[in-house]
Every structure is written in structure tokens, then in C-alpha cells.
């Protein structure tokens, strides 16, 4: 459910550098759900996972095909020539439909990339001369120096060709090896002689090496289970064993088959996967275990010290109230505790640990002040000084904030919401600052920025959008001035969204106070053509859960652009569309977020009702025709709104958590504790105890193969509604996973169905 890591989930949609589209009339057709999922992408051709080459010359990126916006090829933009070129065409290596292994499908589902095909990840070698490209289950090495436009095969070498899937592939730090996981074991290929070597042999059954367990991927933002030392002499890796985890029978219903899977699912209050950390010496093959203790804990993060002598391990307690940063000797496994973070609510994980190479110190991210900020510590863990401070958060797309560090100049570059909780801006501060509240803003434009620092810290790639501007890309200097525009993405006659501008509804942003006086930010769209004196139905577009922010000042919601365009469809069909980030949602600090501790669905719904009262005061709103829609936690919110209030006439609940005792350990226990320790909180937070009070019409939607919010949640609700003779509507998707609304076929069907449902339930007098 958690959408952290969100760097993996974000897409930057920008116009191709050499793109030439025919001019389009400004009012060719009304915006439709069908067009949202068709190509070319309404925001412009997609750019994904942009990276600088190590020498800073190229910006490489993944871009969807004109004929299939969800099949990605690898492109590069040459900053010297100002031209873009196709490096690797995915269709040259994968013919026809690409079929994923079960493990890779699950991994992509965790990373929210299950709907994508072609090249979905890649990596530069440290010298910048080669690219590693996983494609179709095998690994390819792409030699930039040997590239010939006439013969792609001259530049590409296939490293693996097996029936098994190679996953989590990467170069070693010096580029001498390629490492990967296959069949639950960790492998390397020595690129000097092309010899393959299995580093572990005991993977199989419930045991896997070098992989992240389910909750680490789904809830902790950790998608790997192995880490190279900087000198590439050692690898730290996990050995996981799912044997302690309870087995459940999960029915996965597809269009023509029904399969029962015995799945190891760590439901809240039950045993987690056994995770061991080991250190492998590459030359000798010796494996040294790291004794992290017998207490119940999570292996949160692993990093190497720059000199490769020690490993930094972040160990989180099972109750998530304590996080220890440990220093582990690489040769012996001996452990020293560097620092400890504690919380009375919960610990939020981040990846802002940065070791300095020229100073005996590291940068560390912490919420110890009540807001996420950056701190400088020495190598014994002692605090040197805070680097940032204030009633705002050092955060980027998710909890992570640090963009880079220029040690020569003593500057830390980071992202923050200091300007506004609805924006992300780029900042710098000194490693030697005397006033942590005094920071320097670099980015200038209001809206949402995401940044990649140029190698050598001589500038940055700025990916920026706003509610009025589709995503752009520019290389800027460190004062924010654009030195080289890669993409302007102007809404001119060639832009894919141009035909729909005439009916485009401008988003309005504002805030209303919560019961305790905190600002609740909202996004509002009025109907496209408001008639004076007429009142219109309302649709609340809701998520509302922890760790997520829905109200962004960006283009169409950024990574959730399909939902953003659907808000436009609703507005153009005569609806007021309202989105509000209630207390408990992400990136606002301890006071704002921690009110959900020990009980879900109370203050969140109270804040949504504040939104209802705000709308009822607007002369264009019909207070008797208000609906709500949401997916995942938003689906849960919709059910709670319909069962604990009388404010909503209709709701669409997608993939909802109905019974929190069925959801996983790391997410649920972070907020509710365990069922044994907080039985009352689980009872009041669940939907089932409120079902008899259902008010209004309900459309329940769920994928029949969902392995995140299990289909069992909705079946329990169906039975309870049926036994109480409560009418409701239902749509299930055979084979549908948790991310089915991002897949073109099921996504289109879902949104068209939602539009029809609200037309039936809210437009009728």
C-alpha cells in the first residue's frame, strides 16, 4: 500500500527533443477515458528514469513507443550536440508479447511498474563506457563506444540466456563484474573473462539469497538484498527464509483458470520472514554472518563506509519505535552502535545517510525535531550540528531529501517543502552552517521539482511541472538559471493535450482548518461550464492514508497522471471534483501525521467532513449530491465515509482494506500496533463493525488476483453486506493485481465504469 520509494513510482512526462507532431485543432474532441489510456501520452512522450552518464555528457532515459506508450526503449540526449538518439530498441530483442516470470511480476508489482514492458531499468558502468540492460528476462551489455547506427548488434552483447529470470542486476563499483539474482541465489559474471559464478547455492523453497523480503519491498522502500563494497572485494547480502511466515490460501481467479496459491503472507501480529545479513569475501568465498540479535526486528537499510572497512546497518525494532545505526566490521562482523533514533509514534525510514569522503562524518536524516531534517554526525555517531531546521520537511518525492554533496565546497544539496507543503523545491546549505534555519533556495519556478545533480556538482537536471505546465527538463546552473533546455513541452499546436485545452478546467488550490487548527490543503475543480445559480454534484477523489500526499502543485498529479486526467473528465461532465489531504497523510510533520496512531478512519474522516462543510458553503455545490472514490487506502476511506457518516450519496471503493488484521506486519503495526495489544483500535478501525450503518450507494471493486490487499478483504465485506440484506454493486477483475487501474485495458474499463456510476447515482435528482 505504501507509495514511498516513490522515486521508483514517479514518471516524468516530457516532449521528445526531436519530436514533430502535426498541428491539431484546439477543440478536436472532448477528453475521454479512452483517450487517457491511448497514445501518444497526453502529457507528451514519456521520459522515465533519467540519469547522467558519469562524465555528464549524456542524459539517458526510458521513453515509451509512439505505438505503445507503456513499452519503453532506451534513449540518450547529447548535451554537446543538443540531439537525442535511440540507443536500444526493446523490440529488437523481445519479439511479440513479453512474458514475465512469477518472481519478476511480483517484484514489478512491488515497484509499481507491473504495467510496463520493454526496458524498465538500466545502469551505467562507473567509467561510463557501458550500459547494463535487463530485457526479457536476460541481461545485455551495451558498449557505447562500439555503437554503430547501422548495426546495433555491434554494440550489444547478451550476457545471459537462460529459461530463468535474472533480476536486480547491476555493475560492481569498478565495473569488473555484473551481479544478479537467479533462482533465489546470488550470481556474478566476471566481465574480464565472461565466466559466471554462483556465490550462494542454498536458495530454493522458502530460502532466497540477495533478495528483499515481501514487507521490505512493499512497505520499507528496500528493493534489494545485496550491496557491493566500494572496492568490490566484498558483498553484503541477505539470506531470507519465509518458513516462519504463516501460509494462507489465496485464490487467484483469471479469465479461464482459477488457481489456489499457498502464499507466505505476514499478516499483522504474526511472524515475519527470518532475515540474516552476511558478508561475503569475493576472493576466498568466505561468508561471515552478522549477529543482529535475537530480538524481533527489521533490517531496514545497508550501506558501506567509503573505505570498505565497515558496513552501516539500520536496524528497526518490530514496534517501529526505535532505529539503531550500527557499524559492522567487514572482516569480523563485530558491531558498534553509532546512534539511536526513538519515537513515541513511529519511525519513518529514509535513504539520506551519506558518508563524506574527505571528512570523518556523515549526513543523516531524522524527524527528531518533529519535522524531517538533515544532521551532520562524526563517525562515532556524535552530533556535530544540524544542517536544516524549521517547521517544514526536508523531503523529495518521498522521505528521501539529499540530492548530492559537494565536499570541495562544503555544500549539501537537498529537496524540501519549505516554500509550501504542496510544492517541492531545490535547496542548498553549508556543511559548516551556523544557522540551520538559513538555507538557500536554488529552483525558482513555483510547482513540483525533481532534481539530478550533474557529476562534479556543476549544475543539475531539473524536472519541473506545475498545474499550468506539463513536465519540462532543463540543465541549470546552481543559481537556477537554465543553461540548456532539453524539453520545454509547451502547450502549442503540436502538443497531444492541445485539442483538449478549450475545455480544460483550471485547478484551484487552497486550505481549510482542521479541528485543531492545522491547515488542510485541497485541490478543487469546478465544472467546465458553470451556469449562474445552478448547483452541481461533487466527487471527492481521496486517498487519505499515511506516507502519501495527494495535493500537489504539479501537472495532473505527476505519477498518477491517469487519475489527474480523470478529474478533468469528471469536471467536463459537470462535476465539482475535490481532493483534500487530511491529517495522517504524508510529509507534514509529527503533529499532523501522528493523529492516526492506534486508530484509523477517525480523524481522516473528520477532516474530509470539514471539506464537505466547506463545499456546502459554495453557491455552485449541491450538498445533497456528494460522492467519493478511492483506491487502496482511498477505497478504505470511501467505505468509512459511507458507513460512519451520512454526508455521501454514493461511493466507489477500489481494492479496500476491510479488516486490518488481514494486512501486513510492517505497515499495519507501525500505526495500530498488534491486534493483541490494540484489539479495540483494530475493531474500530475496521469496516466490518460499521457495515450496518452503510448510507448511500456503494460500488465495490477489486482485482481477483490482488496479492497486496487480498481479495479476501472484499469477500468478507460482500458476505457481511449480503447477510444484512444491504444492496451494493460489485465489479471484479479476473487476474487483476493491486495496480490494475494503471494497466490500459482494465484502467480504461474502471474509469469508464466509475463515470457511468456517478452519472447514475449523483446526476439523478
Beta strands in 546-600 (DSSP E): 576-580
Question: Does the annotation count 377 as an active-site position?
Answer: no
Cis bond upstream, residue 332 (ω within 30):
no
Q: What's the alpha-carbon Rg for the chain, to the nearest Å?
A: 25
User: Do 227 and 245 contact (CB within 8 A), yes or no?
Assistant: no
Q: Which residues contact 523 (CB under 8 A, 6 or more apart)?
A: 507, 508, 509, 550, 551, 578, 579, 580
Write the DSSP string, 623-681.
EEEEEEEEETHHHHHHHHHHHH-S--SEEEEES----GGGSBHHHHHHHH--TTT-HHH
Q: Are strands 195-198 and 440-441 parallel, antiparallel or unpaired?
A: unpaired
How far is 523 from 510, CA to CA, in rounded Å? 7
Hey, what's the cell of 541?
477523489
Instruction: Tell me the CA distances in angstroms from 374 to 236, 401, 437, 448, 593, one per residue in order.
Output: 26, 8, 11, 21, 19
Q: Which residues contact 693 (CB under 8 A, 6 or more apart)?
A: 643, 644
Nearest to 124 by CA among 199, 166, 74: 74
Q: What is the largest CA-CA distance in the chain?
A: 81
How far is 201 from 488, CA to CA, in rounded Å? 51
Catalytic hit among 706, 707, 713, 714: 706
How far is 306 from 732, CA to CA, in rounded Å? 51
User: Do 261 and 252 contact (CB within 8 A), yes or no?
Assistant: yes
Question: Does the annotation count 666 as an active-site position?
Answer: no
Supply angle C-alpha 528, 532, 533, rounded to 5.
120
Which residues lie across from 337 on neighbouring strands? 326
DSSP H helices, 10-161, are 33-36, 102-110
Question: Does the annotation count 738 as an active-site position?
Answer: yes
User: Do 734 and 255 contact (CB within 8 A), yes or no?
Assistant: yes
Query: Residue 504 CA to chain centroid, in angstroms?
Result: 28
User: Do 280 and 199 contact (CB within 8 A), yes or no?
Assistant: yes
Catalytic hit among 632, 653, 697, 714: 632
Q: Which residues are catalytic?
A: 632, 706, 738
Amino acid at each position: 500500500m505504501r507509495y514511498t520509494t516513490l522515486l521508483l513510482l514517479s514518471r516524468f512526462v516530457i516532449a521528445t527533443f526531436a519530436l514533430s507532431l502535426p498541428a491539431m485543432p484546439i477543440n478536436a474532441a472532448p477528453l475521454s477515458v479512452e483517450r487517457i489510456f491511448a497514445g501518444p501520452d497526453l502529457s507528451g512522450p514519456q521520459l522515465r528514469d533519467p540519469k547522467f552518464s558519469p562524465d555528464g555528457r549524456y542524459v539517458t532515459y526510458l521513453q515509451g513507443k509512439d505505438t505503445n506508450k507503456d513499452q519503453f526503449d532506451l534513449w540518450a540526449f547529447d548535451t554537446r550536440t543538443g540531439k537525442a538518439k535511440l540507443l536500444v530498441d526493446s523490440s529488437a530483442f523481445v519479439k511479440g508479447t513479453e512474458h514475465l516470470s512469477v518472481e519478476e511480476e511480483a517484484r514489478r508489482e512491488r515497484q509499481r511498474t507491473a504495467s510496463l514492458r520493454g526496458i524498465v531499468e538500466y545502469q551505467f558502468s562507473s567509467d561510463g563506457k557501458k550500459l547494463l540492460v535487463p530485457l526479457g528476462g536476460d541481461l545485455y551489455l551495451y558498449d557505447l563506444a562500439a555503437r554503430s547506427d547501422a548495426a546495433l548488434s555491434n554494440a550489444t552483447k547478451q550476457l545471459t540466456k537462460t529459461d530463468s529470470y535474472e533480476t536486480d542486476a547491476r555493475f560492481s563499483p569498478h565495473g569488473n563484474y555484473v551481479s544478479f539474482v537467479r533462482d533465489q541465489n546470488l550470481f556474478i559474471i566476471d566481465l574480464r573473462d565472461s565466466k559466471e559464478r554462483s556465490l550462494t547455492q542454498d536458495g530454493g523453497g522458502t530460502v532466497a539469497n540477495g533478495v528483499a523480503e515481501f514487507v521490505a519491498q512493499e512497505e520499507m522502500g528496500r528493493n534489494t538484498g545485496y550491496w557491493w563494497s566500494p572496492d568490490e572485494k566484498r558483498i553484503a547480502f541477505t539470506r531470507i527464509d519465509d518458513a516462519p511466515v504463516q501460509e494462507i490460501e489465496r485464490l487467484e481467479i483469471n479469465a479461464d483458470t482459477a488457481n489456489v496459491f499457498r502464499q507466505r503472507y505476514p499478516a499483522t501480529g504474526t511472524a515475519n520472514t527470518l532475515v540474516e545479513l552476511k558478508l561475503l569475501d569475493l576472493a576466498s568465498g568466505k561468508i561471515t554472518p552478522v549477529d543482529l540479535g535475537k530480538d524481533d526486528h527489521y533490517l531496514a537499510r545497508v550501506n558501506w563506509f567509503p573505505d570498505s572497512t565497515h558496513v552501516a546497518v539500520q536496524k528497526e525494532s518490530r514496534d517501529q519505535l526505535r532505529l539503531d545505526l550500527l557499524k559492522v566490521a567487514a572482516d569480523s562482523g563485530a558491531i558498534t552502535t553509532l546512534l539511536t533514533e526513538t519515537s513515541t509514534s513511529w519511525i519513518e525510514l529514509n535513504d539520506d545517510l551519506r558518508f563524506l569522503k574527505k571528512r570523518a562524518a556523515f549526513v543523516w536524516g531524522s524527524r527528531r525535531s518533529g519535522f524531517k531534517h538533515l544532521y551532520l554526525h562524526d563517525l562515532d555517531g556524535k552530533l556535530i550540528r544540524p544542517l536544516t531546521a524549521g517547521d517544514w520537511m526536508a523531503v523529495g518525492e518521498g522521505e528521501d531529501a539529499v540530492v548530492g554533496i559537494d565536499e570541495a565546497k562544503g555544500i549539501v544539496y537537498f529537496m524540501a517543502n519549505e516554500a509550501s507543503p504542496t510544492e517541492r523545491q531545490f535547496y542548498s546549505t553549508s556543511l559548516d552552517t551556523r544557522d540551520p534555519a538559513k538555507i538557500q533556495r536554488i529552483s525558482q519556478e513555483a510547482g513540483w521539482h525533481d532534481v539530478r545533480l550533474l557529476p562534479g556538482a556543476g549544475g543539475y537536471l531539473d524536472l519541473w511541472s506545475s498545474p499550468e505546465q506539463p513536465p519540462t527538463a532543463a540543465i541549470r546552473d546552481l543559481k537556477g538559471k537554465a543553461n540548456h533546455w532539453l524539453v520545454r513541452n509547451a502547450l502549442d499546436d503540436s502538443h497531444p493535450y492541445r485539442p483538449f485545452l478549450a475545455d480544460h478546467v483550471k485547478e484551484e488550490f487552497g486550505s481549510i482548518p482542521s479541528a485543531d487548527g492545522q491547515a488542510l490543503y485541497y485541490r478543487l475543480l469546478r465544472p467546465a461550464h458553470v451556469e449562474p445559480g445552478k448547483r452541481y454534484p461533487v466527487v471527492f477523489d481521496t486517498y487519505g492514508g499515511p506516507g502519501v500526499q495527494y495535493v500537489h502543485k504539479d501537472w495532473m498529479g505527476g505519477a498518477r497522471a491517469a487519475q489527474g486526467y480523470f478529474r478533468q473528465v469528471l469536471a467536463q461532465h459537470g462535476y465539482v471534483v475535490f481532493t483534500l489531504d487530511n491529517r495522517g497523510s504524508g510529509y507534514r510533520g509529527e503533529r499532523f501525521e501522528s493523529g492516526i496512531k492506534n486508530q484509523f478512519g477517525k480523524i481522516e474522516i473528520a477532516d474530509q467532513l470539514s471539506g464537505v462543510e466547506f463545499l456546502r458553503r459554495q453557491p455552485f455545490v449541491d450538498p445533497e449530491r456528494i460522492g467519493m472514490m478511492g483506491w487502496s487506502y482511498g477505497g478504505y476511506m470511501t467505505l468509512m465515509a459511507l458507513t460512519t457518516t451520512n454526508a455521501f450519496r454514493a461511493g466507489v471503493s477500489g481494492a479496500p482494506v476491510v479488516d486490518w488484521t488481514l494486512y501486513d506486519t510492517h505497515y499495519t503495526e507501525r500505526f495500530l500496533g498488534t491486534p493483541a495489544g490494540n484489539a479495540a483500535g483494530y475493531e474500530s478501525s475496521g469496516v466490518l463493525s460499521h457495515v450496518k450503518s452503510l448510507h448511500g450507494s456503494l460500488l465495490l471493486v477489486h482485482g481477483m488476483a490482488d496479492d497486496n490487499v487480498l481479495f479476501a478483504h472484499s469477500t468478507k465485506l460482500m458476505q457481511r453486506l449480503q447477510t444484512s440484506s444491504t444492496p451494493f454493486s460489485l465489479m471484479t477483475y479476473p487476474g487483476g493485481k493491486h495496480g490494475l487501474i494503471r494497466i490500459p485495458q482494465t484502467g480504461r474499463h474502471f474509469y469508464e465504469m466509475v463515470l457511468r456510476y456517478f452519472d447514475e447515482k449523483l446526476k439523478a435528482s
